[in-house]
Structure 1
Amino acid sequence: MTDYRDVNRANWDERAPAHAASAGYNLAAFTRDPHHLSDVVTFDRPLLGDIAGLRAVHLQCHIGTDTVSLARLGATMTGLDFSPASLAEARKLSAASGTPVDFVESDLYGAPDVLDAGSFDLVYTGIGALGWLPDIRRWAQVVATLLRPGGRLFIREGHPVLWSLQDEREDDLLVLEYPYFEHAEPTVWDDGGTYVDTDHTFEHTTTHEWNHGLGEIVTALLEAGMTITGLVEHDSVPWEALPGRMTLLPGGEWQVTERPRRLPHTYTLQAVRTAV
C-alpha cells in the first residue's frame, strides 16, 4: 500500500506554486508592505496576544504566509512542513519580504528528530492542518515534546462538524455525511482543484485525510501532559467551505448564509505544557 504521506506530499508539492501565484495568498502584499499580515493571523491576534520575543514553531506551515506573519509580530520563527515545494515557496517569500524565518523539512511526526525538543515557547498550528494526520495522540505528543515547560500551543482549525458535512448538494441542507471521529482508514478524495482560484490542471489529485473529534483532540492533549487554557468556537472560516451556501465577510472569512449560528465553523484551542 502506498504511504499516505507520499500521496499527500505529491498533492501539496503540486499545489504549492499555484497557491504562491494566487490572489488568495497575496504574496505580493508581503513584499509591498512590511507590516502586512495574513488574514488568518490577523483573525488570530486577539486570542494569540503578544508573542514578541518568543521562540515559536509553526507546524505544517505550507508556503509560509502565516509563519512570516508571526515573525512580523516579533517571534523568532521556525516553519516545518513535509512538502519541499511548499518550503521552496516559503523561503522565497521570507527572502523577498525581508522577514527571517528558519524553514525545516519534515513530516509532522518526525518534528522532534529535526527540531530542538523542549525549547519552544509557542507551537502554532493553523487552519487545515490536522486533517492530514492519522493519529491525533501522536500529534499531541509531538506538541508536548517541542514545548518547554510552561510553553503554549495555539491552534485554530476547521471544526470537526464542518469537516463531516457534505459540501456539494443540490438543496441547501446541511448533512453530516463523513466521519466525525478518528478512524484508522482515511477518507480518500480525488479532487482536480484546490481552494484558491487557479488555471493549473492538477495531475496529483488524490489525498488521504482524517477527521478528529473535538473531544479526541482535547483528550489527546491532556494525556500528553498539557493543560487546556482556552477553547473558543467560531461561526466563520477562512475559505468557502460550502460552495454556494456561504457569504464572504470583511477580513476574508466566510460564513454560512442561512442561520449561521447553527453550525460551528472553526475553533481556537490553547493549551500549556505542564511544568515538570
Structure 2
Amino acid sequence: MTDYLTVNRANWDERAPAHAASADYGFDRFANDPSHLSDVVRFDLPRLGDIAGQRAVHLQCHIGTDTVSLSRLGAELTGLDFSGESLKQARALSERAGADIPFVQSDVYAARDVLDGEFDLVYTGIGALGWLPSIKRWAETVASLLAPGGRLFLREGHPVLWACEYERTDGIIALHEPYFEQAAPQIYDEPGTYVDTDHQFQHTVTHEWNHALSEIVTAVLDSGLTLTGLVEHQSVPWNALPGRMTKRPDGEWQLTDRPERLPHTYTLQARKPI
C-alpha cells in the first residue's frame, strides 16, 4: 500500500495556498480585526469556557485560523501539522494577526516526540481525525501530551455524516461509506477542494478513515482520560451535503429538510486525572 502520509501530505501541501487565499478562511479579517475569531472557534465558545493563561496545543492545525483564534482567547498556543506548506501559511497568518505562535511540523502520532512539556489543553478541530488510521493511537498521543488535570477538546464531523453519500441528487440521506474504522483506507481521487478556487490541482488522491463514535469514546477512555462531555450537533461548518443544506446566520450549515434526522458534528471533552 502506498504510504498514506506521503499521499495525503502532497494533497494538503497543494491545498494550503489555495485555502489561505480564499475568502472562506478570511486571512484579511484576522489581519484587520484583532477581535476576529474563526467561525469554528466562535461556535465552540460556550463549551470552551475561559482558556486564558492555559498552555495549549492545536493538533492538525492546517493553516492556523483556529489556532490564532484560540490564541486570541488568551491561551498560549502551539500549532502542529504534518504539512510544511500549511505551516508556512499558518506562520504568515500569525505574523499578520500579531500572534506569537510556534508551529511545529510533525505527524500527529509523533507529537510527543517533538513537543516539550505538557499541556493544559489539547484542541482538535473539524476534519482532522479522518486522516488517521488508528483512533487508539491518536487517543494515546493526546493523553501523553496532557498535564494532570488537562483537557481534551474535540469538535469533529460526526461519523454518520462521514458515512453519508454526499453526491446524491435525489434528496435521500444514504449511508454509503464505512462507519466503523477499517484497516484499509478509503481512497478518493477528487479534483477540487472545499473552498472556491481556480487552481487546477495535481495531487488529488487522498487516503482517509472513518471512526465510529463508540470507537472514539472507547479510545479516549482506554487512554486513561475521563469523559466529561459529549454533545451531538445539528450543524456543520461547511456545505457537507451539497444541494441538501442551508447556511444558517452563524455560518454553520444544516440539512434543509428535517435536520434532526442527522447528527452533523459532535463535541467531545475529556480530562486527564490529577
* Residue 179 of structure 1: how far off its partner (Å): 0.3
CA distance in 2, matches of 1:138, 1:47: 25
Question: What does residue 114 of structure 2 align with?
Answer: 114
CA distance in 1, matches of 2:115, 2:123: 14
CA distance in 1, matches of 2:58, 2:89: 15
Find out whether 1:170 has 2:169 as its counterpart: yes
CA distance in 2, matches of 1:100, 1:229: 31
CA distance in 2, matches of 1:73, 1:217: 27
Question: What does residue 147 of structure 1 align with?
Answer: 146
- Paired-residue identity, %: 70
Aligned residues: 274
Could you tell me the TM-score, scaled by structure 1's length?
0.98
CA distance in 1, matches of 2:155, 2:169: 30
Could you tell me the TM-score, scaled by structure 2's length?
0.99
* Residue 217 of structure 1: how far off its partner (Å): 0.3
Question: What does residue 46 of structure 2 align with?
Answer: 46
Find out whether 1:2 has 2:2 as its counterpart: yes
Question: What does residue 219 of structure 2 align with?
Answer: 220
Map 1:155-234 onto structure 2 (within 5 A). Answer: 155-234=154-233
CA distance in 2, matches of 1:228, 1:136: 16
CA distance in 1, matches of 2:169, 2:29: 37
Question: What does residue 252 of structure 1 align with?
Answer: 251
- State the superposition RMSD in angstroms: 0.6
CA distance in 1, matches of 2:72, 2:100: 9
Report if aligned partners of 2:169, 2:243 keep a CA contact under 8 Å in 1: no
Question: What does residue 74 of structure 1 align with?
Answer: 74
CA distance in 2, matches of 1:138, 1:48: 24
CA distance in 2, matches of 1:9, 1:168: 25
Per-residue CA deviation, residues 174-219 of structure 1 (Å, 9 max, x unaligned), is 0000000000000000000111111110000000000000000000
Map 1:26-41 onto structure 2 (within 5 A). Answer: 26-41=26-41
* Residue 225 of structure 1: how far off its partner (Å): 0.2
- Secondary structure, counterpart of 2:188 in structure 1: strand
Runs of 4+ in 1 over 4 A off after TM superposition: none
Map 1:61-140 onto structure 2 (within 5 A). Answer: 61-117=61-117, 119-140=118-139
* Residue 84 of structure 1: how far off its partner (Å): 0.2
Any stretches of 5+ residues in structure 2 without a counterpart?
Answer: none
